[in-house]
Chains A and B, each alone.
Chain A
Amino acid sequence: MDINLSSEDLAFRDEVRSFFEENKIKSGEDYFSWRLGWFEKAREKGGWDVPKWPEKFGGPGWTPTQHYIWEQETAKANIPFDLPFGLGMLAPILMNYGNEEQQNRFLPDIRDRKVNWCQGYSEPGAGSDLANLKTKAVLSDDGTYYTVNGSKIWTTLAHVADWIFCLTRTDDSGIKQQGITFLLFPMKQEGIEVKPIITLGGSHTVNTVHFTDVKVPVENRIGEEGKGWTYAKGLLEHERTGLAGLSKSLVELEQLKDNARSIQRGNGNLMDNSSYKSKVGELEIDLLATEFTELRSLASAAAGGEPGPESSILKLKGTEIKQRIQKLTVEASGIYSSAWGDKGVGPSFAKGGTAGYLNSRYFTIYGGASEVQKDIVAKKVLGLTKSSSK
């Protein structure tokens, strides 16, 4: 065990930093062309545009420490936005379970950020109990296409997505984890209706999506019919690790402290207030520990392959930390935390702070609610079983 970065790692960190510095957006530059150019240059560095992809598919093949450095640096730097759906969620499934034709067809566009994907998993009756999904896909008599009917809910950015990867039910005769089929299809077609859901923070990012007789060619099925749950399950563990967002929280924690210091109280500031300071301190201690839980998990994943059920710990802790940062921002805003809308009164960080806090309540619900994550840890890690099956 050695906490010091090796000279190679330090050199890597400097290389990452100078890459970010050299490729910063210039004033007046068009954001979207800068963004695509940025990924192009990252690709020329040897897979920096797809850091988490395996080398076989063009990824950089970094060590866990290099990934950690990358996460830390990206959280601090101003780099272009990226969406996780194609790149981080679908791509690993295509790599593991898709055929070569599918890999060649979909991966390049994902890598080039040309196609926006959305995830069609949750349904009105299938939230934490995801396997309970009912969206039906019926294979045509000639076996060439599926007809999809049903509804998905909480579909993030469905209103701007080009394609969806979707869990559908092709057989309901067995246990509910069986008979689920993984399909890919375009969003912009007849029979697909997207309706916005406005969240408590007043924003539109999630939707309900309704399918009426949507035709999907069998070539768009990943793997075998009825095995979709197995494919998706591995992905869910990837998703949970990604949801922790610890590097970003570290940056946000520093911002939180700066914000609190900007609130004058007597001869000092809000960070001198003992109650507030304690809460920030407790938050930081949790963050320090969770950061190393993530590193340990990454290291064991690097040694043994897939992230395991430990990823649930990260999701639990990481999302709770993010919520606490939002809550403390609201508290720092004081009387101004109740102002709503774009106008912005009081300190500049108060604007949108409460909306952020309200929306952050979602963090402990999506990707498997905290209660379900704890069930997973109890069952898979501690080996605890329930006498009655629930």
Chain B
Amino acid sequence: MNFELSEEQKMIQQSVERFVQENYDLSNRIKISSEDPGFSKEYWSSMAELGWLGLAFSEEDGGFGGNQIDTLVLMEQFGKGLVLEPFLANIVLGGGSIKRGGSQEIKDSIIPKLIDGSLQITLAYAEEQSRFDIEDVATSARKEGDGFIINGKKSMVLNAESADKIVVVARTNGSQVDEEGISLFLIDADAEGIDRENFPTVDGLRASEISFKDVQVTSECLIGEKDKGFSILQAVVNDAILALAAEAVGAMEVLYKDTVEYTQQREQFDHPLSDFQVLQHRMVDMFMEYEQCKSLLFRATMETVQDPSLSQRTIHALKHLIGKSGIFVGESAVQLHGGMGVTEELRIGHFFKRLLVIDSQFGNADFHLDKFTSL
């Protein structure tokens, strides 16, 4: 067993860290977030040029043949700056679906453009009634002639506002909550019958509600086999959980370190706040939660790289702990910063919001505890 990153991974880690330090101070982030399209196209191009967008794709697909550990390295550093660029939506969700199930033709037409940053994509899976159950799919894809007709609504779709293409999870068979009978389709985001309602999210990103009315797609747009899309979706969601958990660990590190620093500077009752034992213990708890999350992140990621079929239970454990500990660390950072913590003026509030959102994505702490205990 070995927890050391490779030399290449260390170099990437340092270069992402530098990028975040140079470009992601709070005021710049707020500015980028508030202007369209909600992220910096310039930064996105830089990320492509630095090769980060191609890390997780195989060499046959034009990538660098990396795995979830490389994504972990990137996302943990992204988490320290609350990076807005849509890496998760493009590379992990959209790209992750295509690299797993796309035909050679789809791969050839999409993946190079994801790697060079010229194409924006996303995955639309959640629905109003589905809550966190990814197999709960009511959106239908009805076979007609050579193709399919898609009808339904998708919720909280990340990056849909900017997307050129959307990977849509639809039901081609079975009842609403069956794993069998789910299929994935690659659709043009401006295809006839698609309507997007865009809005900001709590963490300064963007999401959309999307409706599909008699949207026509050809059979060539299928990603993976018809009715067999669930296993792709499950693997993509697992990757997304690992990526978000890495981002959360980066965010938690900032929160506990900022809090330690602040309490050493802020004086009340003629002492620095850090003199008070009750506050010291709270910070020790924050630190321990951060370390524990990092351990479980490593465990789940290393298991997945080794054999994805054996890591499911650990992934549930990870998402549970990330949700619970992330909110604990966020709430504690705010509490220890006092009134200032509840304002938009310090960065900790923004990190807290991101951790809150991460808990609500791909299943919250309760959801994954239930899954964990039933496996």
Contact between chains at A129 and B343 (CB < 8 Å): no
Contact between chains at A334 and B335 (CB < 8 Å): no
> Which residues of chain B have a CB within 8 Å of any CB of chain A?
126, 128-129, 131-132, 155-156, 197, 199-203, 207, 209, 267-271, 275-276, 278-279, 331, 334-335, 338-339, 341-345, 349, 352-353, 356-357, 360-361, 364, 366, 369-370
Contact between chains at B339 and A390 (CB < 8 Å): no
Contact between chains at B342 and A359 (CB < 8 Å): yes
Nearest-CB distance from B342 to chain A (Å)?
A: 5
* Nearest CB in chain B to that of A199: its residue: B342
User: Within 8 Å of chain B (Cβ to Cβ): is A147?
Assistant: no
Nearest-CB distance from A282 to chain B (Å)?
A: 13
Contact between chains at A338 and B335 (CB < 8 Å): no
Binds B, one of A61-69, A85-93, A106-114, A360-368: A360-368
Q: A340-B201, A365-B338 are in contact. List 19 more A-B contacts (CB 8 A).
A: A125-B267, A126-B268, A197-B345, A198-B345, A200-B349, A331-B366, A334-B131, A335-B126, A336-B156, A337-B202, A338-B361, A339-B202, A340-B200, A345-B199, A354-B202, A357-B356, A358-B352, A361-B334, A371-B278
User: Within 8 Å of chain B (Cβ to Cβ): is A154?
Assistant: yes
Nearest-CB distance from A20 to chain B (Å)?
A: 34
Instruction: Enumerate 15 A-B pairs (CB-CB under 8 Å) in ascending A order.
Output: A126-B268, A132-B268, A199-B344, A200-B334, A200-B343, A200-B353, A265-B131, A334-B360, A338-B202, A338-B360, A339-B207, A361-B334, A366-B339, A369-B335, A370-B335
- Which residues does chain A contribute within 8 Å of B271, judged by CB atoms? 390
- Interchain CA distance A386-B197 in the complex, whole Å: 59
For the complex of A and B, the 6 pairs showing the least CB-CB separation, nearest first, are: A129-B268, A275-B366, A338-B357, A334-B131, A362-B342, A338-B201
- Interchain CA distance A211-B289 in the complex, whole Å: 43
Nearest-CB distance from B110 to chain A (Å)?
A: 26
Contact between chains at B202 and A335 (CB < 8 Å): no
Overall SS of chain A's interface: mixed
Contact between chains at B360 and A361 (CB < 8 Å): no
- Which residues does chain B contribute within 8 Å of A220, judged by CB atoms? none
Overall SS of chain B's interface: mixed
Nearest-CB distance from B310 to chain A (Å)?
A: 26
User: Within 8 Å of chain B (Cβ to Cβ): is A18?
Assistant: no
* Nearest CB in chain B to that of A127: its residue: B338
Contact with B along A238-266 (1 / 0, CB 8 A): 00000000000000000000000001110
Nearest-CB distance from B52 to chain A (Å)?
A: 25
Contact between chains at A361 and B335 (CB < 8 Å): yes
Task: Determine which of B129, B275, B278, B335 lies in contact with A365 in the assembled complex, contact meaning CB atoms within 8 Å.
Answer: B335
Nearest-CB distance from B210 to chain A (Å)?
A: 11
- Interchain CA distance A116-B369 in the complex, whole Å: 49
User: Within 8 Å of chain B (Cβ to Cβ): is A72?
Assistant: no
Q: Which of A122, A330, A335 has the most CB of B within 10 A?
A: A335
- Which residues does chain B contribute within 8 Å of A358, judged by CB atoms? 202, 342, 349, 352-353, 356
User: Within 8 Å of chain B (Cβ to Cβ): is A341?
Assistant: yes
Contact between chains at A345 and B155 (CB < 8 Å): yes
Contact between chains at A390 and B275 (CB < 8 Å): yes
- Interchain CA distance A354-B271 in the complex, whole Å: 35
- Which residues does chain B contribute within 8 Å of A125, judged by CB atoms? 267
Nearest-CB distance from B113 to chain A (Å)?
A: 28
Q: Beyond A127-B339, A340-B200, A354-B202, is A361–B364 a contact (Cβ under 8 Å)?
A: no
- Which residues does chain A contribute within 8 Å of B352, judged by CB atoms? 200, 358
* Nearest CB in chain B to that of A176: its residue: B270
Nearest-CB distance from A109 to chain B (Å)?
A: 30
Contact between chains at A122 and B155 (CB < 8 Å): no
Contact between chains at A264 and B129 (CB < 8 Å): yes
* Nearest CB in chain B to that of A332: its residue: B131
- Which residues does chain A contribute within 8 Å of B339, judged by CB atoms? 122, 127, 153-154, 206, 362, 365-366
Q: Beyond A275-B370, A369-B335, is A334–B364 a contact (Cβ under 8 Å)?
A: yes
Contact with B along A115-131 (1 / 0, CB 8 A): 00000001001111100
- Interchain CA distance A333-B199 in the complex, whole Å: 16
Nearest-CB distance from A178 to chain B (Å)?
A: 15
Contact between chains at B335 and A343 (CB < 8 Å): no
* Nearest CB in chain A to that of B349: its residue: A200
Task: Determine which of A337, A338, A341, A374 lies in contact with B278 in the assembled complex, contact meaning CB atoms within 8 Å.
Answer: A374
* Nearest CB in chain B to that of A263: its residue: B131
Contact between chains at A361 and B278 (CB < 8 Å): no
- Interchain CA distance A362-B342 in the complex, whole Å: 6
Contact between chains at A338 and B275 (CB < 8 Å): no
- Which residues does chain A contribute within 8 Å of B199, judged by CB atoms? 339-341, 343, 345
* Nearest CB in chain B to that of A131: its residue: B269
- Which residues does chain B contribute within 8 Å of A199, judged by CB atoms? 342-344
Contact between chains at A365 and B342 (CB < 8 Å): yes
Contact between chains at A365 and B202 (CB < 8 Å): no
